[in-house]
Amino acid sequence: MRKFLTVLLILAVPFLVVGCGNKKSNSKYTIIASNFPCYDFARAVTKDIDDVDVQMLLTPGGEMHDFEPTPQDIINIKNSDIFIYVGGESDSWIEDILNDIDPSKTKIIKIMDYVDLIDEEELDVLEDEEEHEDEEEEEYDEHIWTSPVNAIKIISRLKEEIKEMDKDNSDKYEENANIYISELESIDKEFREIVSSAKRKEIVVGDRFPFIYFAKEYGLSYTAAFKGCSDQSEASAKTISALVDKVKKDNIPVVIKIELSNGNIANTINEETGAKVLEFNSAHNISQKEFDKGTTYVDIMKKNIEVIKEALN
Ligand SMILES: [Zn+2]
């Protein structure tokens, strides 16, 4: 009887595992990524490899800057083979658990180590929160992935770590990464061509501004309401009127709002000036619907190409 029960359990286990969310039941390796860009890049490199299960920590549609891990998330990170995170202000909770992660089991990848960083001090937005006096430390803007050039750098390095994790599929990872990188290179080329032939080289953002890496890469100037990770969503009358004046003075055709935003500021500017409101997506996260459709960082950037074309002409 006991033997029979054991057999029954062995038979039942794969079904139980399959029943728990979308985890692949037979994958040998697990990669956990903190936000959407980290998830997307790892998913692209490991495409069509059943041995690897890539999971995003952030729930689709969730706000990256408010993320709090559950105890189960922390257990999953400790059991993963690779854990990828950005490494900025929003990931400070990760620094607290790093000591508990066994480095011989889990490779920890901080993507801010892979690119040149921009000091937050460089960011010039209309509503800058007061710095506390004790915050003398240098803080870097964490939205590195908004530049496709940085995305290429991150994937090139991430690919090497994934090859190291699973040498058997090394060639396939190399191939996947090269395909994704060449798509990103053509996106980069398109952005450059648009900017070089554009009527204007400035954008107005009636929202948070997580695009410093993007703007710097393509030589765009900007007027924006808040910092990229600000929790403010309502602007002062002074900020609104500065944005309205900028749109009127420079004849700006498009006012930008970001994804998952209420668009209130951009809509007010639209009412005052007639400038069209368009969404420029900073890819912090995607909605559940987009997630289910398999939307990629490349898909998001292709839409952004159309927006920037209209905004600069
Ligand atoms: Zn942000």
Block means of pLDDT (10 residues each) for the chain, length 313 residues? 46 42 71 97 97 96 90 96 94 90 96 96 84 66 97 98 97 98 98 98 96 98 89 86 97 95 95 97 95 97 98 97
The rounded radius of gyration (Å) of the Cα atoms in the chain is: 22
Residue that the structure tokens 């029960």 belong to? 5
Distance of CA 144 from the midpoint of ligand 1 (Å) = 10
CA dihedral 61→207→147→182, nearest 10 degrees, is: 60
Strands, E assignment, the chain: 29-33, 52-56, 82-85, 107-110, 202-209, 221-227, 254-257, 276-279
Distance of CA 228 from the midpoint of ligand 1 (Å) = 5
Distance of CA 92 from the midpoint of ligand 1 (Å) = 14
Distance of CA 182 from the midpoint of ligand 1 (Å) = 26
CA distance 210 to 84: 20
Distance of CA 146 from the midpoint of ligand 1 (Å) = 10
Distance of CA 201 from the midpoint of ligand 1 (Å) = 23
Beta bridge partners of 31: 54, 82
Sheet containing 202-209: give its strands across: 221-227, 202-209, 254-257, 276-279
Distance of CA 210 from the midpoint of ligand 1 (Å) = 6
Distance of CA 164 from the midpoint of ligand 1 (Å) = 31
Distance of CA 65 from the midpoint of ligand 1 (Å) = 6
Distance of CA 66 from the midpoint of ligand 1 (Å) = 10
In this prediction, residue 132 carries a pLDDT of 54
Distance of CA 282 from the midpoint of ligand 1 (Å) = 8
In this prediction, residue 187 carries a pLDDT of 98
CA distance 221 to 200: 10
- Classify each residue of 47-58 as buried b or exposed e, where b means 16 or more C-beta atoms within 10 Å of its C-beta: bebeebbbbbbb
Predicted model pTM: 0.89
Distance of CA 283 from the midpoint of ligand 1 (Å) = 9
Distance of CA 229 from the midpoint of ligand 1 (Å) = 4
Distance of CA 208 from the midpoint of ligand 1 (Å) = 8
Q: Domains in the chain, ordered, with CATH?
A: 21-126+143-186 (3.40.50.1980), 195-311 (3.40.50.1980)
Distance of CA 83 from the midpoint of ligand 1 (Å) = 20
Distance of CA 176 from the midpoint of ligand 1 (Å) = 28
